Amino acid sequence: MEEKAMNKKLIVLLAIIFFLIGGVSAKILSSSNETVLAINVEKTIDNMTVNNPIKIILEEKIRQVEEKRTKEEERRRLEEIRLEEERRLEEVRLLEEERLAEEKDSGNEQENYKIAYLTFDDGPSNTVTPMVLDILAEYDIKATFFVLGKMVDVNPNILKRIFDEGHAIGNHSYSHGYSHIYKNIDNFLEELRLADNAIRRVLGEDFETKLLRLPGGSHGSYRKKFVEAAEDLGYKVYDWNALNGDAEGLNLSKDRLVKRLKSTVKGQKELIVLMHDTDTKTTTAEALPEIIEYLISEGYTFKKLEE
């Protein structure tokens, strides 16, 4: 408390000194309980020498406030992502419950089947994707990789390995750039075409996939027209109803990813599990064996998605 009071007194003193110099303007920057007086750089700070101690102290205070503000904005952004995923998963669970109720009423209910479809988005990468493939091979599990065209262009040999090892390959757009992709239908379809072409350059012109996952998923009324446009071309659009949460923050621990996955399973008979295999998602690969073991213990078998 004493240090904070001293800081405020120092800032006020420095502000008075600057105003005594004259010809300055100011704005107030606030973060938590701190207030910093930011002096117009054109008229005062820029006219001071680089090593002027007053200039250094003020600029450091302003930098600290901006840094706190940036961290808080990032925290809020990640929390919004988490809450949106919770909402999305709840919608999917309700739809699945309705489907299972209809099966039960029609007498077509399958009592003992529990299937998990492991899916990986945004690759292929040259670090995490091979780690994931090694683990899947160890468990003799086939998964589905929704790839980005731009990453296929960078890592064609990894895409070839995915294909050679019998996994399913789906289209996840070329760039994953929301503002461009969802600007209009033409942009959206062009992204799908570019991604398909990138895949064919590696796997051959005869290769075709009709598996599709929209960047960010297909939920939301404004994306309905994009889903319909894709389905008109024969694509089968897949979202997810479980996830490990590896898109909900940076450098998340293995234990957190496993815990998040367990919290989203909730006894569903069919799981489509969302994960990511970009270069930054090393803990996704590290958590994968424990996730697989958990799903096995819960009675799930594993399949790849079908067109």
What gap in Å lies between CA 277 and CA 284, rounded to an integer?
7
pLDDT for position 30 = 45
Judgement on whether residues 199 and 294 belong to the same structural domain of the protein = yes
- Kindly report, residue by residue over 219-257, the tens digit of the pLDDT: 888 899 999 999 999 999 999 999 999 999 888 999 999
Judgement on whether residues 215 and 275 belong to the same structural domain of the protein = yes
Number of domains in the chain: 2
- Model confidence at 88, pLDDT cuts 50, 70, 90, reads low
The Cα-based distances of 59 to 27, 62, 126, 131, 178 in angstroms read 13, 5, 41, 45, 36
- Kindly report, residue by residue over 175-198, the tens digit of the pLDDT: 999 999 999 999 999 999 999 999
Closest to 251 (Cα-Cα) out of 273, 283, 215, 219? 283
pLDDT for position 200 = 98
Judgement on whether residues 157 and 67 belong to the same structural domain of the protein = no
State mean pLDDT over 276-291.
98
What is the residue whose two structure tokens read 């998340």? 252
- Kindly report, residue by residue over 19-55, the tens digit of the pLDDT: 544 444 444 444 444 444 444 544 555 555 666 677 6
Under 8 Å CB-to-CB from 132, ≥6 apart: which residues?
Answer: 120, 143, 277, 284, 285, 288
Domain presence at residue 92: no
State mean pLDDT over 100-125.
77
Per annotation, catalytic residue among 167, 172, 176, 276: 276
Domain presence at residue 77: no
Name beta bridge partners: 212.
171, 237
Judgement on whether residues 23 and 134 belong to the same structural domain of the protein = no
Q: Known catalytic residue: 121?
A: yes
What gap in Å lies between CA 265 and CA 254, rounded to an integer?
17
Domain presence at residue 82: no
Judgement on whether residues 176 and 273 belong to the same structural domain of the protein = yes
CATH code: domain of residue 131: 3.20.20.370
What gap in Å lies between CA 110 and CA 269, rounded to an integer?
10
Per annotation, catalytic residue among 46, 121, 186, 206: 121
Task: Output b/e per residue, 161-181; b: 16+ Cβ within 10 A.
Answer: ebbeeebbbbbbbbbbeeeeb
Judgement on whether residues 178 and 263 belong to the same structural domain of the protein = yes
Judgement on whether residues 182 and 261 belong to the same structural domain of the protein = yes
Name beta bridge partners: 242.
273
* pTM score of the predicted model: 0.70
State mean pLDDT over 86-104.
61
Domain presence at residue 307: no
pLDDT for position 11 = 56
Judgement on whether residues 181 and 281 belong to the same structural domain of the protein = yes
- List the domain range (segments joined by +) for residue 38: 2-71
Helices of type H across the chain: 2-21, 53-106, 128-139, 149-154, 156-164, 178-181, 185-203, 224-232, 254-265, 282-297
Judgement on whether residues 254 and 161 belong to the same structural domain of the protein = yes
